[in-house]
Structure 1
Amino acid sequence: MSTETFTRKPSSLTSSIYPKHIPKLRVGAIKDDLGFTLSERLALRQAWNLIRPFERRYGQDIFYSFLNDTYWGINKFRNAGELNLKALHLHALQFIHFFGVLIEESDPVMFQLMINDNNLTHSQCKVGSAYIGNLAQALVDYVLKVFQKVSSLSLEQGFRKIVEKFQSYHDQLPAKTAYHRVSKLDVH
């Protein structure tokens, strides 16, 4: 036998396949695009499945107690001195429902747009982002208290991340006019 058969150079096809590169090993929990781990996302969704049938009651409990603790908050629902109960009840239900929709949202762009839109709407009503962040924290505290026997570290961390996303939003001052020009109405 000649030595040519043993010292043959590998073909380009075999050199592209072998040796196979080992992928980099990731240590720890893998996070999705929103920053949640799989166990946090699962814990949030499971908790929300337990909350969903009681949205109205939990929303009212949290919203009313929070508004009463911040005495001026309830005044946002007054029309000519009278308390608008319909708007108050509807807002309590929408508040907790919005939190649930955020938990179900998996697209990071849509998630951020929802938070931005929510905070922009509230800032137009002179309700600051700190107030919204505190309300979100009140919801988390309430839910964790209700589910304290079945709560987990993943659930607590998942809720904390949502509250952080609310609190990271900063109030934006609305522009005076387009292109930031001053109009006659802006000059006193």
Structure 2
Amino acid sequence: MNKFLFKVSFIILFLFLGTAKTFAQKLKFLIPDAGIVQHAGSIGYFSVGAGYEIFKNKKGYLDFNYGYVPAFKGGELHAVTVKLAYKPFEIKLSDWAKLYPFNPGFFLSYTFQEDLAYKFHSSEYPRGYYYWSPALRPHLSFSNEIELSIPESWDGLGINKIGLYTEFNTNDFYIVNYLQNTSSLSLSDIFQLGIGVRLKF
């Protein structure tokens, strides 16, 4: 009886390991291509995230970020962001450095804070009085990036390249305000700047 149970247990374990391996292979696409750290840029005073290369030519990327604003910077806030951008131009600076001078993009950020909701409260404002969401912001972005290849001696770190980037962005609320007040607002008033590092695996 014990031998029979042992054989059955072995078969179940073998099937489980085989299924787990297949399942893990199917989920391989969830492993990010890059880790991201960013300062400012409308998604938090500091933010961290994971990035994925998209399109067959790998000239696009999809990022997921978590951002935090500490209390001493105007009130504690938490935000999540989904970014999509494209890198149409590539300039080779050397064998170990590339420049992506103009990367247009779009992202959505959602801020978690007790005074912010997806919609304005109907008890305070008539329906449609404000068109925008207090917590959800769509943004247009324009970034540039210098990509540096890592020396072979650093292979143990698991990082192949480092990207240093700056990103300018604006949102729907800023754009509408600018168009309604062009005499008193300049483009520099409606664009925010973020600076970040992209560690590519």
Report if TM-score (shorter chain) is over 0.5.
Answer: no
- TM value normalised by structure 2: 0.19
Larger Rg: 1
Q: Which has the higher strand share?
A: 2
Q: TM-score, normalised by structure 1?
A: 0.20
